Structure 1
């Protein structure tokens, strides 16, 4: 609230200031400076001036405001040595550039540096002073239009101050290159068109911290932020990036109060203590962390892995013996450390201006000496100062008294200042090397050294690309952000109680490789008994073969692992979905990969197939044996009775019936599917037609034995018998031909019976054709059975009507049972049923018709006589 009031008051003052200036310009060709800004400053002349804003003091003191006179400038207190070192790094970089003959030759850079006292209002005042100058009156050709005294500004260190300053400077397209402002909101080019920075934004800082979380598998984390722009924008980035796509989620998000609020801190620490998250990410400043750690120590909350933002990663105020048992092992993101050769020698030669006032333009150096050494600037010999009542050289005092100031082994903000100055220098060098007539501005013009405009430098600053002596590439993207890189730091708690913050890796983004994280895990100190990184997950990872199922009402990182259903697999950890296997594949028992489906058909290698094959071959062999017996005894009465030729043909057809069953065994092929039913149908029609003719011959012979019946035999001669069999068989062949031509049976991979199996079968193609084929066989079989039944009472010794009747009853019974069994049998069992029906019916015919005859031929030859056949043999 205080910040808002200060900012509002400042902008109100600016409004009246600019209104006065504009109204004045309406009546004159000069601009009048409304007020001088003299606080803490440092200047160096040059052909081109660069501005700088640095925090040299921690807080200001404002004089009493009477509202009846112009307010006086504040006085700043509590000198910041490191802020001063950052300002001197800019001075060193400019001196180094001026000495470099390859960069900006024949051009001398100067600088104007101001203190902001870590206040938004003072920072804006310093920025406006840099862009407007300190001259009391400026004569212009037109109304207040002209080049600014500085071409660009390096600063500010704070995101909040940079937002305020850049909002104003953006109106005039003056580049502001920050070395420490990290708020991701500053990447908005519409709001801050002239803002650049050499430090990564919080968006990448959040991304870098997420990379660490993902590296160690920490998907369940707590987030604590400070109640300011720095913390709020970081929380937004975390919530958007640390989701399911980012590999985790937040267990809780807590906001640290601006002031020390014991009740609120107690509540926050209580949330941390009760949470199952073992990793805590803190986006806050050192002062906030100090307050938080007091409560953590008081409640003795241990066993947490802390992840520090760059604001407190290197903070020495937290590295105390009472806090390190809790913060030991902290992993943090730190600004990239760089090396600046020659900076220490430059700092060693800093000398105060031996004057009693600050009007000389180098009051920064005087403030530094007064703060550090309490020097009284009486007129000593040149190059000497009086410190502590004794005379000593400045170099001796610095070397002996202020070692932190001279420690250049850990340059982080200073390295960003160094890169910012060089980025401006390279952009200016590119701008001055423009060839007339080939420039990027209107009418292909170039910028001129005598009248440089900040917006012209902005054009080149957006395209700058160089590599520092430390090896880091510096360039800006479309949002003014530099290629980001962070060091990963680890807080090591040494056995002797000392603390060391060591670098254990880096996170960076390159133009070609994207984001990369490098970690030396062997160097990391873990503040746990196991000396290993902790586990911090709401739910353990789902192994391959399962998928994540979110728990209702809980964060996305809390889930159950549900096994994949049959036919689906997941081959990665923490899979969100199970994918279906291809058509010919099925899930493995572990559901982690697809395997080829098992194939099923009536095989020669399985017991059922072996039994049926054996039976078929055995039946064929029996037919051959019986045929051999009949051929050998073809002259005997029992063979010659009732047309032996039909008996031979019947035996051949039965042999084909047995053999055609083999076509139903083995993996279905196109040719086997087409032949099997045709061979089956023709073979059985041939067999049944022979039986039918034999039955008709029996009836005809019996009728011829009666008076007047001799004429019936002329219709059943040998030729007529052969013709009848041929016609009946040809008709079945015609049925099979039409069926095969119109809708041929084809092999088919059936997955409806079993999802995990492929059942190879022959689809009949045309059900009508298959039904006609079976119906025709059935018609002949029924007709034969009826005729045989009519002849059942004829003398047994005269004909074989009873044998035919018995055989046809077996045949009809088998095929009557076949139809429902075939329809209800799936896959290979349908083929097995059909083969069984073929073998059973063939065996029934073979046994019933030829069994008794073979018995008489082989075992009762005395009955194989004409008398016995004619019934005249009285021997029993």
Structure 2
């Protein structure tokens, strides 16, 4: 403080014709002492008189506060009432609106899964702020505990640290509280914790217990940033009491540094057993004397120097203000008591090119040194600077740490890991565990059709419709184009069945043509049998349009083709049934059915009913033709399908086909008791039952399947219903034609029997 004031007073260009002085009080880290000293400064005398200034000729520029919160909080509350400019170099939080502070809370948020331990009257008056700042950086706080100095309270905090899975503990405590906590943790044999100490803690090995030093091995601590003070060492080496005869502080400094005492009662050093010599003022300071000051660590000295320089620069700016050019009402430059405005706006560069300024919140951007505390080979606690934290830098570049130089508890390069949950790999997402901190989560696999391509993803992304996740679910890949092809086993099996049934129907047709003159072929209109067999053969060929890559032509024709061909089959079966009925019901001359029965009736039934289906399918194909399309169901493949074009026409076509089959079934069932030799009604009834069962079961199967399975189900229905018709209607006749030709005679057909004599 003396150096800063002397530096200003000796500069003729700085505050000319003005002499600056200061008063210094020792608060003894006591809020009560600090409050009394503050009142003394305000009233201008040692015994304070509140609300009175007894030395108006001395103008109070401002007050530099203490180093700890017990002092600073009390001073801030009082000075806010009097609106006196103030600066607390090391304190980090206060309720005073005019308090300028150096924040520490942000620096504690640069670490991940942590515990927060603070103590009574430490700078962490608002742990919630640290919770928020840690959360902004992707971390979280397991819990927050406060030490109040009681033995039971320290034990509770130690138990909480012991049971927590967090490996890093942020401690904002004075060394006296940390010593108690370290002892409690040592009793639990806990050594696997990393400590991050705030600026409230000074890692002075001379005052720390053995347990505290061992607990601090591999820890990091924040130290108030210090810098060089040009000319300061020279000032100390030339300092002499004669230069400041009225300054009591200089005499105290001189006596402590040289180990002497000023004239008066001589003191006896009980430890050394010798008489302390008087100070003469003629002694010479040597480098040995100055070495005890530890000038390599100027932390508090540097902050006091900056504080004094800041007040002096602010006052200089006020003095430099010309009347009529001030920033206040009426362009006034304001009074000396209103230095607060100029202090907020101060901005200057030190001789070491360090820029000093205040933010809009009334803060000087905090600058800290990151220190590494470790045990040397001789078990002494050593401290080394490993980085810095400078909030004057752009966001994201505030913290700079040389991690390779840090000596952790387990050794150099063995970086500790403090996470509540392991990193979620690609293809998974983080699911927060209820009741746990935000960084405690479980890794769940992405749902079907979704991916995560970054670690610790908060959610999964859905792939586009034409893409699907790979096996690892970390990227979307194009879906595989799929359709029912001839190269796969199902396609090959269906193609074989189609070919076999088609050839079998042609074989039966050839057998009937070859034996066209026989009674069993001629019975019940052989032309209808030929038409039925030809229609069945064409029905068996229709599934070929269902297999292979869908194209517009096959999509448009395949549904309509099998619908028309099956309609012809069912109409031919219905016509054969009516022929059987008419053959027995129209034999009497007075029968009404005789008027309608005739050779043209089967042709009329076949053409008339089939024409309705043909017209229906023509409207369907021309107006709403089915076209190739890709399936939209979730899966790794895109199935090429033929759309229905119009579902109404598709189910109308099937409904009409079912109606004809039902009519044929009812008529054949009613005619089942006619004479057996000329009666096909039983066979037709059975064939219609098979046909109806197949197509009734087709509807739910068709609706419940997806992709190419839908195509396979429809092919199976076509083949099964066609095979049922062919087997029930023509296999019994083929059996007689090929294996029992003796029954293929007119007498057998008429039921005549011949007996030998």
Matched, 1:337 2:226: yes
1:692 to 538, 557, 574: 574
* Deviation readout 1:222-278 (Å, 9 max, x if unpaired): 62x3332x2661655556666799633345725142xxx777767766776676665
Matched, 1:480 2:373: no
Matched, 1:373 2:258: yes
In the alignment, the residues of structure 2 paired with residue 89 and residue 436 of structure 1 have an alpha-carbon distance, to the nearest angstrom, of 32
In the alignment, the residues of structure 2 paired with residue 145 and residue 651 of structure 1 have an alpha-carbon distance, to the nearest angstrom, of 129
In the alignment, the residues of structure 2 paired with residue 614 and residue 92 of structure 1 have an alpha-carbon distance, to the nearest angstrom, of 109
Report SS of the residue matched to 1:111: coil
1:176 is matched with which residue? Answer: 86
Matched, 1:419 2:306: yes
Matched ranges for 1:743-822 at <5 A: 765-766=647-648, 769=652, 772-782=655-665, 785-786=668-669, 789=672, 793-794=676-677, 802=680, 805-806=682-683, 809-820=686-697, 822=699
2:8 to 78, 81, 94: 94
Aligned residues of 2:123 and 2:200 also touching (Cα < 8 A): no
Deviation at 1:442, TM superposition (A): 0.9
Supply the RMSD in Å over aligned alpha carbons.
5.5
Distance change >3 Å, CA 299–CA 827, structure 1 → 2: closer
2:716 is matched with which residue? Answer: 836
Deviates more, 1:527-536 or 1:663-672: 663-672
Report SS of the residue matched to 2:285: helix
In the alignment, the residues of structure 1 paired with residue 19 and residue 747 of structure 2 have an alpha-carbon distance, to the nearest angstrom, of 144
Matched ranges for 1:454-603 at <5 A: 454-455=337-338, 457-465=339-347, 468=350, 473-510=355-392, 512-513=394-395, 516-528=398-410, 532-535=414-417, 545=428, 550=433, 556=437, 561=442, 563=444, 567=448
In the alignment, the residues of structure 2 paired with residue 771 and residue 648 of structure 1 have an alpha-carbon distance, to the nearest angstrom, of 24
2:269 is matched with which residue? Answer: none
Aligned residues of 2:468 and 2:636 also touching (Cα < 8 A): yes
Matched, 1:827 2:705: yes
**Unaligned segments of structure 1, at least 5 residues:** 1-86, 137-142, 379-386, 796-800
Matched, 1:352 2:241: yes
Deviation at 1:489, TM superposition (A): 0.9
* Deviation readout 1:787-812 (Å, 9 max, x if unpaired): 874776455xxxxx53x752552243
Aligned residues of 2:557 and 2:621 also touching (Cα < 8 A): no
In the alignment, the residues of structure 2 paired with residue 412 and residue 286 of structure 1 have an alpha-carbon distance, to the nearest angstrom, of 17
In the alignment, the residues of structure 1 paired with residue 461 and residue 39 of structure 2 have an alpha-carbon distance, to the nearest angstrom, of 66
Distance change >3 Å, CA 173–CA 729, structure 1 → 2: same
Matched ranges for 1:251-266 at <5 A: 253-257=145-149
Deviation at 1:652, TM superposition (A): 3.9
**TM-score normalized by the length of structure 1:** 0.66
Report SS of the residue matched to 1:115: coil
Distance change >3 Å, CA 452–CA 857, structure 1 → 2: same
Matched ranges for 1:662-701 at <5 A: 662=544, 677-696=559-578
Aligned residues of 2:661 and 2:688 also touching (Cα < 8 A): no
Distance change >3 Å, CA 547–CA 299, structure 1 → 2: closer
Matched, 1:161 2:71: yes
Deviation at 1:868, TM superposition (A): 11
* Deviation readout 1:469-522 (Å, 9 max, x if unpaired): 656554333432221232211113222444421112233434641574333222
**TM-score normalized by the length of structure 2:** 0.75
2:336 is matched with which residue? Answer: 453
In the alignment, the residues of structure 1 paired with residue 550 and residue 7 of structure 2 have an alpha-carbon distance, to the nearest angstrom, of 86
Matched, 1:248 2:140: yes
Deviation at 1:820, TM superposition (A): 4.0
1:728 is matched with which residue? Answer: 609
Report SS of the residue matched to 1:518: strand
Q: What is the number of residues matched between the two proteins?
A: 725
Aligned residues of 2:314 and 2:343 also touching (Cα < 8 A): yes
1:195 is matched with which residue? Answer: 99
* Deviation readout 1:741-774 (Å, 9 max, x if unpaired): 99999989687xx999999897884497366324
**Unaligned segments of structure 2, at least 5 residues:** 48-52, 264-275
Deviates more, 1:565-574 or 1:310-319: 565-574
1:49 is matched with which residue? Answer: none
Distance change >3 Å, CA 841–CA 363, structure 1 → 2: same
In the alignment, the residues of structure 2 paired with residue 430 and residue 676 of structure 1 have an alpha-carbon distance, to the nearest angstrom, of 95
In the alignment, the residues of structure 1 paired with residue 422 and residue 690 of structure 2 have an alpha-carbon distance, to the nearest angstrom, of 65
1:441 is matched with which residue? Answer: 328
Deviation at 1:816, TM superposition (A): 2.3
